Structure 1
């Protein structure tokens, strides 16, 4: 006997479901391309990198890459902006106001550990931001980021240097940032136990620099 039960039509996907899926696929592809670009920039530097090398690293055709980015500079800018956004969040955590009773050595170690963690997870940040030929837009944003970092370090140091004139505290903050960057290059150039040894040396350098200033 034939089935005369009325069949309900299958529901069509919501009107915005397909665009959302396409958008999600696009975001995944962009993330894939940025990850590949980070690898290439770390290996060859920004100047020597090419869109073909980035596409090859991502396992896609150059045509697919150009669907999302018109050139290498656009990729670097997008990658740089995302990294700088994350770095600002790191500032908030690493340089949050501390109880002045916190020992200086402990404060230095805590800040260095957070920054080192970020840079070890994203070595391309150092390669991109300190390369000889980075796009002007990234350089401008990084200069602003650097100024913010110095001011945050200055605010962190102020409770430890209550009687020190403001310009002197600012100079000390700039020295700390400069020392950190110099040490960071050595940290990133090594791995394993040797990297850990350089991290300890970096903390020691910063602490020994600050200790007599705080004791005065």
Structure 2
């Protein structure tokens, strides 16, 4: 049998020393994820203003001291959670708000696909709506939300443009702003209900957008 070649003790020690920081980093990331998931639950249940670090720690099953090892306060937790959710929402924009060929995809299908995707995201992440629209959200989240809103309007313009090729740019912008406003108003009602009633409000939102956009897509002059 071939003899086993043992690594020098110094090499083994060095490898073990390098591996320890990686393990600690992985544990830290898991703990941060645990705390953010707990914060999402607390924010969605009580709102941002009424939430506390003690409640978040309790929901996560850790001590407040453990929480403070990773976040100095509630605002820092909200900013980290909000940033991650906004990043995920931007990915949704990229996937569903892209130019469409009206000859292939009718306006009804475009509305249904977009609304379903965004409603699904908000129902999976109810804390997103709380953090984006709460009365006392941190200023940094408000600024990032304003940028997200601007991006959304721009992407809706991109989606609408092929349906109204002769419309002037300012008119398309106004239409996109109205669509986003209608969606946000409908979203608040949708999140306030569950089950069959929620589904009914989702359909109402689609119907409202379709009644607004169909005449434009059919060539009604601005």
Question: Into which bin does the TM-score normalised by the smaller protein fall?
Answer: over 0.9
2:185 matches 1:182: yes
Q: Deviations over 1:125-148 (max 9, x none)?
A: 001100001000000001001000
| Within-5 A mapping of 1:51-66 | 51-66=53-68
2:213 matches 1:210: yes
> TM-score with structure 2 length normalisation?
0.91
User: Offset of 1:15 from its aligned partner?
Assistant: 3.2
| Within-5 A mapping of 1:64-213 | 64-101=66-103, 102-213=105-216
**Distance in 2 between residues matched to 1:159 and 1:98, nearest whole Å:** 7
Runs of 4+ aligned residues of structure 1 deviating over 4 Å after TM superposition are 5-13
> Match for residue 51 of structure 2?
49
User: Offset of 1:14 from its aligned partner?
Assistant: 3.7
Query: Is contact 2:99-2:162 (8 Å) kept?
Result: no
> TM-score with structure 1 length normalisation?
0.94
Q: Deviations over 1:14-42 (max 9, x none)?
A: 43211111101000000010011111111
**Distance in 2 between residues matched to 1:170 and 1:8, nearest whole Å:** 70
Q: Deviations over 1:88-144 (max 9, x none)?
A: 000011102212211110111011111111111111100110000100000000100
The RMSD of aligned alpha carbons is 1.7
| Runs of 5+ unmatched residues, structure 1 | none
| Runs of 5+ unmatched residues, structure 2 | none
Query: Is contact 1:94-1:115 (8 Å) kept?
Result: no
